[in-house]
Structure 1
Amino acid sequence: MDKSIIINGEKYPIDVESDMPLLWFLRDHLEKTGTKFGCGAGLCGACTVHIDGVATRACITPVGTLAGRAITTIEGLSENGDHPLQKAWVANNVPQCGYCQAGQIMNAASFLKQNPNPSADDIDNAMQGNICRCGTYQRIKKAVAEAADELAKEVS
């Protein structure tokens, strides 16, 4: 059985203990530090990545369970940092301290793939699992809505 995973389009062997959280495999083993450690219990969302396109908490996901799976981190969301969410984040001055922002963006990206035309309530519900200690929730909500509009234009 192939003991490797694909991260941002590149194949990596799983050559660590199988119970190592994906977060530490990314940060310590591969030096991909965009994914942040927050709570270590899957509650705050700072460590959110995509596994096969689905927003997942990397701090509680054992790397050994991911053989053959495709992982996308914030570094892999857009090669040039020009994903509509990233542009909306900048345009709306969302980050204050910035620590939670990679997880916020990754959660929002997965959400918008599932719901490309969200209502304000849909955005609130989808984003409530990601904590921002600085309280930039209104800017986050506005940026997600603007990114949804931009993504809709790209599809049309």
Structure 2
Amino acid sequence: MKKGEKKKVGRPSELAECLINAKEYLLGGYETFGDVVPSVAGLACYLGKHKSSMYEYSKQNKEFSDTLEAIKTVQENKLINKGLTGEFNSPIVKLMLANHGYSEKQEIDHQSSDGSMSPKPIKDLSDDELDAELAKYGINKPEIIQPAKRAKGQAG
């Protein structure tokens, strides 16, 4: 302790106690508590607090936030490994892993990276290209009627 610093006396803060117990939960306390995998909800029950309090504590304290992240990481790892060995119910594992960003759906990019599949604006089409596009929809090229040429000297 440095000169001029005050020694902390008294009972530790509620957050400090929760942090100690949260680390205990993470390091196996969840199993003795009866949880199959660690979770934020399980931690809240273990501490006798609301789940929303866990997120509030994590905003207030970096170490508590890191502990919550570690709980989520251990949960993800356990779900993957126990799911692969068949120890956990596959549909439940799939559902829970969705909370960790896993999914079955494939994202398809409908645009070509070189732009070759992107439609050209109409103003950039040649006459032949425009006629071909219109023909796809059964629209024939309109006939352009030229005005009749007048003979010299005729008034119109």
Shorter-chain TM range is under 0.3
Structure (1/2) with the larger helix percentage: 2
Greater Rg over alpha carbons, structure: 2
Structure (1/2) with the larger strand percentage: 1
TM-score normalized with structure 2 length? 0.23
Identify the structure with bigger relative contact order (alpha carbons < 8 Å, sequence gap 6+). Answer: 1
TM-score normalized with structure 1 length? 0.23
